[in-house]
Structures are given as C-alpha cells and as structure tokens.
Amino acid sequence: MSKSDNALFLNRRHVLVAACAASLLGASGLSMAADEAPEALIQRITNETLNAIKADKALRSGDIGKIMQLVDTQLMPHVNFRRMTALATGPAWRKATPEQQKRLQEEFKILLVRTYSGALSQITDQVVVVKPLRAGQEDKNLVVNTEVRGKADPIQLDYRLEKTPGQGAGWMIFDLNVLGVWLIENYRNQFTKEINAGGIDALIASLAARNKSNAKAS
C-alpha cells in the first residue's frame, strides 16, 4: 500500500473529522433503526455522535482502545462491514478462505479506526445537515447526501446504505463518500495492487504491517 494512496485521506484532516464523527453511531439507535427512514437515521445518529465526541475528552484525544470499543459496540450493528470489506477487496474476496476473509475484516477495521481517530480532536462546532432524499433509489444501493458545517468550508459527506430484510431489518451503511471520494473505491485501488503483487495473504500482511507501524507511532 503506497504512501501516496493513503495521503488522499490522511492529508485531509478536516475531512476525516466529518467522516469519523458521522460514522461512529450512537447506541440509542439500535431499537429504532428498523422503522426509521434512511435520512432520519443518518440525521439522528450523526447528531448523537457529534454531541458524544464533543463531551468525551478520551475520544477527542484519539484513545484507540476507547474508539475501538465504541466501534465494536455501537458502529458495527449499523454497518455491513463484511460487504464493505468484500467490495474493497474485489473479485479476490470470493476466492479467499473464511479465515482470510476474517483476517481482512479485522485488519481493515483497525486501519480505518486508526486513520480516522487522529482527527477527533478537531471536532468543535460542526453540525450535520441532511439533504432531501433523491427519489427513485433502490433499497440495495441508496445514497443519503449530507453536509458538515462549521467555521470552515462545508464538507460533503454522503452515505451508501442498503435495506436488510428479516428479523432486525433496517438500513445498514456500507460506504462513505467524502468530498467526492468513495471509501470503497479508494481502498479497492490500493488493495488490487497488493493482491496482484502477492495475493490475498500479501494484502493481509501489508495491512497488518501498516497497523503495527501506526500503533508504534501513536
């Protein structure tokens, strides 16, 4: 994974603030998610999360342990992370063993958490404005457009969601668009290079090495 590829996200710290704040979801949403409209869900959870982060010094300081706990208990129930990882990995995902898929999800989650965690300290007066939902969208690929507003220029932050059937049905997030850059597309370009060079195991090793390096640097 090249430094130039990662710089796309890491150099836009104000963008990462919005992405992280809007992605870490409040626990109170679990019981309501199944009945809420997608734009209402996004509005509520972003407001709850911004307020929670503003009130928690440990989260704003980038406490990885606390952020990871928040992700595991509050974010994952609202995100189809398996689908997110599969889409970022591309066709090679279907050829990966269950153990390889598990490792990829684990390392990818750590990478995202560490990438976004450093920007939490910049959250101050931001508010999220959800735009009207575009008509005619499909339940498996619906986009909610939002704008993060504060003292600086507004930041485009969009969510791609799917409607899940059956017990516990509700809207699940599986991609983010920050200033015109979709997270899955960005990482798929990086992951494809690693897979083409050495296969799935090479990608897993690259992610693990980067996570280890980031841990030492934090």
> Where exactly are the structural domains of the chain?
3-217
pLDDT tens, residue by residue, 122-178? 677 888 899 999 989 999 999 999 998 888 888 888 999 999 876 556 899 999 898
pLDDT, position 45? 77
Looking at residue 141, the DSSP 8-state letter turns out to be B
Instruction: Please state which CATH class domain 3-217 belongs to.
Output: alpha beta
Greater model confidence, 37 or 204: 204
